[in-house]
Structures are given as C-alpha cells and as structure tokens.
Amino acid sequence: MASYHADGTLPGNNAVFVFGSNLGGKHGKGAALVASKRFGAVRGVGEGRTGDSYAIPTKDARLKVLPVTRIAEAATRFLEYAKANPDVSFWVTRIGCGLAGFTDAQMAPLFRGAGPNCNFAQEWEPFLKEDDDNA
C-alpha cells in the first residue's frame, strides 16, 4: 500500500528523493535544485540514481518539455528500479507538475503499481488510491 506526504516536505534519513529532471541534468530550479543541494544529485546526470536522489526526466537537454509518453517510459524504469530495491524508501515528488506544467491527473497515473517502498505527494492519492484498494 502506498503512503503519502505533504507536498514540499522533505524525507527523513535513508530515503531517496525522486524528482523531475531534464536530460541535461542541469538541476537549476525546483525539486531538482533541492536534489542537487541536499540529496547528491549530480549535474549532468538527467535520469537515474545518484547519491540519495533519483532523476526522472520531464524535459530534454534544451529544457523543452518531453511528451508524456517519454516521461512514462522513464517512470516505468523508476518503478522497476524501486521494485528491484525493496529495502530502499523512495520519496516521490510531484514529478512534472511544477516547471514542466503537467497536472497531477496526467502524471500520477504513470506511477500506478508502485510498491510499498514509494511515498507520494498527497495530491496524487486520488489517482493512486485505486491501487491501494486492490492491494
């Protein structure tokens, strides 16, 4: 069953901060900047885990918003990584809902099927609750 946190809060120790990124790994604004300053996100790495962070690209290297299908592919790779690492806790931000301009209704469903080691922003609960009801 998924768990939820207030948007904008930060995880405690031993949680990986999952954030929206760009393929250039610039990490200059929003949650990406927080990931860079507090969770070890490495500049130049636009997808995957570095330090205590995991980048999911929502923009290309020139900061143009990616199509939802491309973001969905990256979300699937994250979900596979999270399932392969059940002892790791993942604190998932509202990926794509800030600077990329998508709605919660567009982004949250990309993360359906996440394991219990994923903690999502409360705004996504209505879109992921169906998974909890079927657990």
Question: Token match 């885990």: residue?
Answer: 49
For 59, residues 6+ apart whose C-beta sits below 8 A from its C-beta are 20, 21, 22, 23, 65, 66, 99, 100
pLDDT class for 135, splitting at 50, 70, 90? Answer: very low
> How is the chain split into domains, by residue range?
3-128
What is the share, in percent, of the chain residues with pLDDT greater than 90?
89
Reported as a single tens digit per residue, the pLDDT across 74-96 is 999 999 999 999 999 999 999 99
Q: Which two tokens stand for residue 46?
A: 């636009």
pTM of the model: 0.93
pLDDT at residue number 13: 79
Fold that domain 3-128 belongs to in CATH: Leucine Aminopeptidase, subunit E; domain 1 (3.40.220)
